[in-house]
Amino acid sequence: MAKFTVLFALGLLTACFFIGRAHAQTPTPKNESLPTMFKPMKSSLQQLLDHGWKPVSFGPGFGGYGYLLRRHHKWVTCVISTNPKDTTKFVSQCMAMN
């Protein structure tokens, strides 16, 4: 019986943790339609990395992999995907976020 109680308590704590995280990530109605300005950059992902930009996060999306880069107080997002004309090569599009 004690083992069941411990497992039940762990399950309940885990559920509360994930519900709390989901609630914290849900945008409020007044914040969900704020514009975000992206300025296209002439630099590739490789050039930015060569100049000291550090990857903070990445993940799949937008037909390729998205990267979030940071340098000092500046942020850049880049998407890298295969070249439609030559699938053995990759291309990147980077945009300044601030």
pLDDT tens digits for range 25-63? 556 666 677 777 889 999 999 999 999 999 999 898 767
Question: Total structural domains in the chain?
Answer: 1
Alpha-carbon torsion angle 56, 60, 61, 67, nearest 10? 20
pTM of the model: 0.60
Q: Give how far Cα 84 sits from Cα of 61, 65, 67, Å.
A: 16, 15, 20
Q: What is the pLDDT of residue 28?
A: 61
Host H or E run for residue 66: strand 64-71
Give the structural domain span for 83: 2-96
Q: Say if residue 70 is exposed, middle or buried (CB neighbours under 10 Å; 0-12, 13-18, 19+).
A: middle
Q: What is the pLDDT of residue 30?
A: 64
The beta-carbon contacts of 59-67 under 8 Å, at least 24 apart in sequence, are: none
Longest dimension (CA), the chain: 65
